[in-house]
Amino acid sequence: MKIISSAALLTVVLFFITETQAQVPSAIIDPAERGYTLQPEQRAYALTQRQLYPSVIFSADEKGLKLDLGDSTLYGRLHYGPAYFDYVNSDYYEARFRSRSDIKKGKGLLEINSYFKKESLSNVNHWTTSGTFGFRLELMRIRDGAPVTLGVFDGRVDFRKTASGYATPLSIVEGPIVGCIQSDHPEWMLIGFDTDRMSTGMIELEEIGVYPDLSVSLHHEITIGNLQPAHRYRYRAVAIVGTDSVITPWMSFKTAPVKGKGTVVFAYSGDGRATTGGGENEYIGVNRTTITQIAKQAFRRGTDFFLFGGDMIGGYTSSAEDFTLMLKAFKTTFSGYMNSVPVYCAVGNHEAHYFGYADARGKKVNIDKYPYDSLSSEAIIAREFIQPSTGPDAYPGMPTYKRNVYGFQYGPVKSIVLNTDYWNTSANAISTFGGSPEGYMLPNQVEWFERELKAAEADPTVKYIVLLAHEPFFPNGGHASDAMWHFGDNTVRSYRAVNGTMTPFDYGVIDMRDRLWEVISRSKKVAAVLGSDEHNYHRSLITNTTPVGVPELDDLNHDGILNDGRFSPDAKFTHPTWFMVCGGAGAPYYTQEPTPWSGAVKKFTAQNNYFIFTANEKKIGLEVFNANGQLLDAVPDLLEVRKK
């Protein structure tokens, strides 16, 4: 199965060229019609994706590979070493740097000869005629006479020895990444990888055979079928162009058990976007330091999958180049984990790729970029992440839900992932141009969710349900001003153009929160509702006595805003239900803020954190660890509170 054929890739390129002339989607009004001017794309990073492709920046040399970034203003260092360091003795692959050289005027040398000298202590992978380097470009530029640090950019380059020196035949620059490993179809899953030249690709399963993708593309996404449930397979990726080919070391993945069976261990964390601190704390929009710590610990704890709660990247960009570069940086950071174990991501507010507008007074408005089927935040996420396509159909003239809203089952656990940052427009412009505020879900997603929950409730193979939405239902530290609360403002909602007239949706964000929570609390199986967005950990027990604010009871002056001093409980919250936030994968920390439901908070800490859930026949339990692996909190049986 492929998501980008070469023809589709060409279409995307054409869209990039003609995007400003693209037809305005029917659900919005073009800000340009109201005196706003489209702002030029702003890039934040010094390199493009292509400038990390070996086929673009490396060429043959008798000593190794010559680097030419095509930009004479760049200086710095080229670090390099084996990409799959000592793979014979590793189960989690990463590069280990061993050598470095200077970059001057955008040029440098990746020297290889020394790795092949008899007395070499560097050739850990015992290369004979070919191999794979991981490389790091540590860059700076002189601006106004002073050096400006541009950060680090990592890549991979495959090489082979030739009669006259070295060559880069073709490189696998991303992946392989496993995806869609789930009990809904334990007999098949997906593996994706990217190459730096148009290639054909295949996945080889050890002692079983090959699964080819014969179409010529930079991206390969291959369906691996005829698999046994709960079985570990060894595999490797192969890419071919002409008479050249490259191959990865052997890796492995484990298929899901049949529905309802097995003990399942899975991780959850969110908000891994960059923070201050320099270096790997701000690696192309990603906090590589913390995500790496968490990914490695989750891997070592034997997790079957990882739920990630959104805000993978700094995002918020008008540049498709930067948006994609950041998403790829997130995947590269998680790469050692994703070689073997799937990561299921939710969309956060930072996953925003937009058209930026400004009026004559400098008022700014951002709207989700179109054409929606190729350039919206949602479409780019769908291209970059291998995730289920089980979400609802979008309304005409709106972005896709495919691969950003979905449910999947793993053993006895059903996970439902929502998109609470869909079709986003700047808060101050939604009622003028159309779009959605943070935390709001349109009726088609709400109804899809209710159907999904009802089906899971009725399915005897589903013992536990876990719900994930980036925007917290009950924020406690950093986002009481938005999420699903907006400081009590129930006038907050989405708008769309109907026959050219801006039309609000029927319900406000707090009505929506309460409707959803009423349904969630009726279910006997919902073990936890997970949020992210707030960069801390908190666990609250929401019951029918928790003061949550009810619009029909508490809006005493009827202005639509719950700020009149009364916050009632919702009597329709049937069972006590855990709401937990784990926005602890590295974004700037937030401490606690007061909310009407502060009394329901059982635990709060601003530490970086991740969750480990363990579900078996009898119960589903939770442990919360900080990024150092210290146990912060535990709930041995999450459904215990519903049995009382």
Binding site for Fe ion (CB under 5 A): 311, 348-349, 533
Q: How far is the CB of 563 from Fe ion (least distance, A)?
A: 23
Q: How far is the CB of 437 from Fe ion (least distance, A)?
A: 13
Q: How far is the CB of 472 from Fe ion (least distance, A)?
A: 9
Nearer Cβ to Fe ion (15/422): 422
Longest CA–CA span in the chain (Å) reads 84
- Look at strands 146-161 and 166-167 and give their pairing: antiparallel
Nearer Cβ to Fe ion (311/489): 311
Nearer Cβ to Fe ion (297/349): 349
Q: Is 544 exposed, middle or buried (0-12, 13-18, 19+ CB in 10 A)?
A: middle
Q: Which two tokens stand for residue 231?
A: 């079985």
**For residue 412, what are the β-bridge partners?**
none
Q: Which two tokens stand for residue 417?
A: 């992932």
Nearer Cβ to Fe ion (329/453): 329
Nearer Cβ to Fe ion (106/475): 475
Q: How far is the CB of 312 from Fe ion (least distance, A)?
A: 10
Q: Which two tokens stand for residue 246?
A: 């490259």
- Is-contact 151 144, C-beta < 8 A? no
Degrees, nearest 5: CA angle 103-43-5: 90
Phi/psi at 505 (5° precision): -75, 160
In which residue are the tokens 């692996």 written? 629
Nearer Cβ to Fe ion (348/569): 348
For helices 320-333 and 377-384, give the axis angle rounded to 10 degrees: 40
Q: How far is the CB of 583 from Fe ion (least distance, A)?
A: 7
Q: How far is the CB of 348 from Fe ion (least distance, A)?
A: 4
Q: Which two tokens stand for residue 99?
A: 């050598």
Q: Which two tokens stand for residue 365?
A: 């408005």
Q: How far is CA 286 from the centre of its chain?
A: 11
First-residue to last-residue Cα distance in the chain: 48
Q: How far is the CB of 410 from Fe ion (least distance, A)?
A: 25
Nearer Cβ to Fe ion (90/591): 591
Three-state secondary-structure class, residue 384: helix
Q: How far is the CB of 350 from Fe ion (least distance, A)?
A: 6
Nearer Cβ to Fe ion (174/378): 378
Nearer Cβ to Fe ion (93/579): 579
Q: How far is the CB of 309 from Fe ion (least distance, A)?
A: 9
Nearer Cβ to Fe ion (154/534): 534
Q: Which two tokens stand for residue 147?
A: 């050096």
Secondary structure, 3-state, 287-345: CHHHHHHHHHHHHHCCCCEEEECCCCCCCCECCHHHHHHHHHHHHHHCHHHHCCCCEEE
DSSP element (H, E) containing 634? strand 631-635
Nearer Cβ to Fe ion (237/492): 492
DSSP 432-496: HH-BB-TT---HHHHHHHHHHHHHHHH-TT--EEEEE-SS-SS--SS-TTSTTTGGGBTT---EE
Instruction: Provide, for the chain, the percentages of residues in helix, strand and coil under a 3-state DSSP scheme, each rounded to the nearest 5.
Output: 20, 35, 45
Q: How far is the CB of 592 from Fe ion (least distance, A)?
A: 17
Position with the least CB separation from Fe ion: 533
Q: How far is the CB of 644 from Fe ion (least distance, A)?
A: 33
| Cis peptide, bond prior to residue 212, ω within 30 of zero | no
**Radius of gyration, CA atoms only, the chain:** 25
- Is-contact 101 77, C-beta < 8 A? yes
- Is-contact 578 530, C-beta < 8 A? no
- Is-contact 324 193, C-beta < 8 A? no
Q: How far is the CB of 470 from Fe ion (least distance, A)?
A: 6
Cα–Cα distance measured from residue 48 to residue 533, given in angstroms and rounded to the nearest whole number:
28
71-74 contact pairs (CB < 8 A, 24+): 71/46, 71/106, 72/105, 72/106, 73/105, 73/106, 73/141, 73/142, 74/46, 74/103, 74/105, 74/106, 74/139, 74/140, 74/141, 74/150
Q: How far is the CB of 481 from Fe ion (least distance, A)?
A: 12
Nearer Cβ to Fe ion (507/590): 590
Nearest to 63 by CA among 91, 101, 104: 101
Nearer Cβ to Fe ion (282/311): 311
Cα–Cα distance measured from residue 313 to residue 585, given in angstroms and rounded to the nearest whole number:
11
Nearer Cβ to Fe ion (195/424): 424
Three-state secondary-structure class, residue 602: strand
Nearer Cβ to Fe ion (257/472): 472
Q: Which two tokens stand for residue 378?
A: 């949602």
Q: How far is the CB of 432 from Fe ion (least distance, A)?
A: 24
Q: How far is the CB of 420 from Fe ion (least distance, A)?
A: 9
Nearer Cβ to Fe ion (190/352): 352
| E-only strand ranges, 318-421 | 343-345, 354-358, 364-368, 406-410, 413-417
Cα–Cα distance measured from residue 269 to residue 310, given in angstroms and rounded to the nearest whole number:
9
Secondary structure, 3-state, 102-130: EEECCEEEEECHHHHCCCCCCCCCCCCCE
Q: How far is the CB of 534 from Fe ion (least distance, A)?
A: 8
